[in-house]
């Protein structure tokens, strides 16, 4: 990971203080605009990594470009509303663009491809043409706003073609890309019909960041046979058609301050007591996930059912509470997954329910982060068991929320967080028997061991916060941009 330094000491902040701005470009916005009659209201939806971008832009000023979530454009929104520090431009997409770019190529094409689930991939030429057009539209919007000294930071697979599109028109600007999801090996990416165009689009950046070194190496290997590319695996450098690109691993940091604040709030303590009274058991297991087939929810429920089968003495003493945040509700695979999960929950309740005890509680709903922090505090055990994940901030949020120094984290070895959070119980998310055994170990763990593990986990996340991550990436981006310019002058 790039070395993290304080904002005021970085070359990145020096550049921004001299007049340059940070331009963040994402598919998802941290706000939504609600229009009712003649009135317009801005509602904050910030969570996870978006918090870091908001903090950066509030500190240094700048611009955020994102999809509005609908068909309407909203330009020059000043945020925060009570003390404006940066500008947000929300782009609308047509119904056809939303269907083909977002629901089609992003969610039924690239998402399963990146998560090594090619059986779920649906590739359509029309969707790819629209994906390309939307990326060009975002690039045009960015170019219309950018000026000398600005820094452009593009986020994730929704906008993979945008870096090269911006580079062609503005080679003098630093361009960074962060890839939040995993990156697949060559044998999987080769199934993508537009593989070369995808890679060439990303290589318009000066710096490409991934969550783990495994994902970084996979990208470098995929570029090995790309026409016009020279790859230095040891240095993490790709020279593509005369442009030098650096590739690095930048594990995303924990939202430490915000979740510690939520967890320590007296309102949270009251909510924790309400949650515990509602389940009225000795041990509470909590899962918090988007309802997505990459998150391993079915396998987790199956493991919990196996745990109850193997250890009947825990009937009436343990409850699993699963929060499933609605996601991609128009995608058929997600509709099917929701039915499967609800059927599994009903099966477990039917098998084990007695005398008012519900073995599992299922909440299909999105909660604000303050409420989520209360569930984290209430949980004796948190299960974070994705089948494959870039990082998974839920694991770090749980640790950040445990200001009491207690609790056990059961964590999938396929989550990027497992490379850092080594004191968690690391599990194979597809091995039902092993998951059930890990659950028993977590529930029966002695207090001294629980606290020792949590103390080390909290020390780990304190060394890499969301702000540290953003600082480290942007510092490395400016160094990479300067290096690319120097290399071009020497050529």
d(CA 456, CA 453): 5
Q: Say which of 115, 180, 240, 481 is annotated catalytic.
A: 180
Contacts 24+ apart (CB under 8 A), 186-191: 186/218, 186/221, 186/222, 186/224, 186/225, 188/113, 188/116, 188/118, 189/113, 189/222, 191/113, 191/118, 191/121
Q: What local confidence, expressed as pLDDT, does residue 442 receive?
A: 98
pTM over 0.85? The answer is: yes
Q: What local confidence, expressed as pLDDT, does residue 55 receive?
A: 78
Q: What local confidence, expressed as pLDDT, does residue 58 receive?
A: 83
pLDDT of residue 2 exceeding 50, the answer is no
Nearest to 196 by CA among 214, 223, 216, 221: 223
Say if residue 264 is in the same domain as residue 332: yes
Provide mean pLDDT across the span 77-97. Answer: 89
* 479 found inside a domain: yes
Say if residue 169 is in the same domain as residue 20: yes
- Its domain, for residue 190, covers 7-253+467-490
Chain centroid, CA 323 distance in Å:
17
Q: What is the pLDDT of residues 350-385, one digit of tens each?
A: 999 999 999 999 999 999 899 999 999 999 999 999
Q: What local confidence, expressed as pLDDT, does residue 234 receive?
A: 96
> What pLDDT band is residue 45 in, cutting at 50, 70 and 90?
low
* 369 found inside a domain: yes
Q: What percent of the chain has pLDDT over 90?
A: 82
Q: What local confidence, expressed as pLDDT, does residue 9 receive?
A: 33
Q: What is the pLDDT of residues 285-332, one digit of tens each?
A: 999 999 999 999 999 999 999 999 999 999 999 999 999 999 998 899
Say if residue 414 is in the same domain as residue 474: no
> What pLDDT band is residue 53 in, cutting at 50, 70 and 90?
confident
pLDDT of residue 7 exceeding 50, the answer is no
d(CA 72, CA 238): 39
Say if residue 330 is in the same domain as residue 353: yes
More confident residue, 199 or 42: 199
d(CA 331, CA 84): 37
Nearest to 223 by CA among 209, 207, 202: 202
Say if residue 412 is in the same domain as residue 480: no
* 1 found inside a domain: no
pLDDT mean across residues, the chain: 92
Provide mean pLDDT across the span 2-23. Answer: 51
* 2 found inside a domain: no
* 191 found inside a domain: yes
* 238 found inside a domain: yes
Q: What is the pLDDT of residues 391-431, one digit of tens each?
A: 999 999 999 999 999 999 999 999 999 999 999 999 999 99
**Cβ proximity of 443 and 318 under 8 Å:** yes
Token couple for 90: 């929300």
Q: What local confidence, expressed as pLDDT, does residue 318 receive?
A: 98
Say if residue 201 is in the same domain as residue 325: no
Residue 407 sits in a domain of what CATH number? 3.40.50.2000
Q: What is the pLDDT of residues 244-293, one digit of tens each?
A: 999 999 999 988 888 999 999 999 999 999 999 999 999 999 999 999 99
Say if residue 108 is in the same domain as residue 126: yes
**Cβ proximity of 161 and 201 under 8 Å:** yes
Say if residue 334 is in the same domain as residue 246: no
Q: What local confidence, expressed as pLDDT, does residue 61 receive?
A: 85
**Length of the chain in terms of residues written:** 491
pLDDT of residue 212 exceeding 70, the answer is yes
Provide mean pLDDT across the span 444-455. Answer: 98
Provide mean pLDDT across the span 462-468. Answer: 92
Say if residue 282 is in the same domain as residue 239: no
* 364 found inside a domain: yes
Q: Is 389 a catalytic residue?
A: yes
Say if residue 452 is in the same domain as residue 474: no
d(CA 256, CA 262): 10
* 79 found inside a domain: yes
Q: How many domains does the chain have?
A: 2
Provide mean pLDDT across the span 149-163. Answer: 97
Q: Say which of 127, 150, 206, 389 is annotated catalytic.
A: 389
- Bond preceding residue 199 cis, omega within 30 of 0: no
Say if residue 236 is in the same domain as residue 301: no
> What pLDDT band is residue 194 in, cutting at 50, 70 and 90?
very high
d(CA 262, CA 269): 10
pLDDT of residue 6 exceeding 90, the answer is no
Q: What percent of the chain has pLDDT over 70?
A: 95
pLDDT of residue 37 exceeding 90, the answer is no
Say if residue 402 is in the same domain as residue 453: yes
């Amino acid at each position: 990971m790039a070395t993290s330094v304080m904002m005021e000491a970085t070359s990145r902040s020096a550049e921004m203080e001299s007049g340059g701005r940070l331009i963040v470009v994402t598919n998802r916005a941290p706000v939504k605009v609600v229009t009712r009659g003649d009135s317009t209201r801005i509602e904050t939806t910030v969570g996870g990594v978006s918090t870091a971008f908001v903090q950066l832009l509030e500190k240094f000023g700048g611009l955020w470009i994102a999809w509005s979530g609908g068909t309407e454009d909203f330009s020059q929104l000043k945020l925060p509303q009570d003390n404006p520090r940066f500008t947000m431009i929300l782009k609308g997409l047509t119904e056809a663009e939303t269907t083909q770019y977002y629901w089609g190529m992003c969610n039924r094409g690239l998402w399963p491809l990146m998560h090594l689930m090619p059986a779920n991939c649906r590739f359509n030429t029309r969707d790819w043409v629209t994906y390309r057009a939307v990326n060009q539209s975002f690039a045009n919007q960015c170019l219309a706003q950018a000026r000398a000294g600005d820094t452009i930071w593009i986020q994730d697979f929704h906008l993979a073609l945008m870096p090269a599109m911006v580079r062609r028109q503005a080679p003098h600007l630093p361009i960074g890309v962060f890839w939040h999801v995993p990156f697949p090996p060559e044998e999987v990416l080769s199934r993508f019909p537009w593989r070369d165009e995808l890679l060439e689009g990303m290589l318009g950046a000066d710096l490409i960041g991934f969550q783990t070194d495994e994902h970084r190496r996979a990208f470098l290997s995929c570029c090995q046979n790309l026409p016009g590319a020279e790859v230095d695996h040891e240095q993490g450098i790709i020279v593509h058609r005369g442009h030098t690109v650096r590739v690095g691993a930048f594990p995303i940091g924990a939202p430490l301050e915000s979740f510690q604040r939520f967890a320590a709030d007296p309102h949270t303590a009251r909510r924790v007591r309400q949650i515990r009274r509602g389940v009225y058991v000795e041990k509470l297991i909590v899962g918090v996930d988007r309802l997505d087939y990459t998150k391993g929810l079915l396998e987790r429920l199956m493991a919990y059912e196996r745990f109850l089968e193997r250890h009947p003495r825990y009937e009436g003493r343990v409850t699993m509470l699963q929060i499933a945040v609605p996601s991609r509700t128009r995608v058929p695979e997600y509709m099917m997954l929701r039915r499967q999960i609800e059927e599994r929950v009903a099966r477990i309740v039917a098998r084990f329910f007695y005398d008012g005890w519900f073995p599992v509680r299922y909440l299909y709903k999105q909660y604000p982060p303050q409420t989520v922090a209360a569930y984290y505090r209430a949980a004796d055990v948190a299960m974070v068991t994705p089948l494959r994940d870039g990082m998974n901030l839920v694991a770090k949020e749980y640790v950040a929320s445990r200001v009491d120094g207690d609790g056990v984290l059961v964590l999938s070895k396929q989550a990027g967080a497992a490379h850092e959070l080594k004191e968690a119980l690391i599990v194979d998310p597809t091995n039902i028997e092993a998951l059930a055994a890990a659950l028993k170990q977590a529930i029966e763990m002695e207090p001294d061991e629980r606290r020792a593990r949590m103390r080390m986990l909290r020390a780990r996340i304190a060394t890499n916060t969301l702000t540290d991550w953003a600082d480290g990436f942007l510092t490395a981006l400016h160094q990479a941009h300067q290096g690319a310019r120097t290399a071009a002058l020497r050529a």
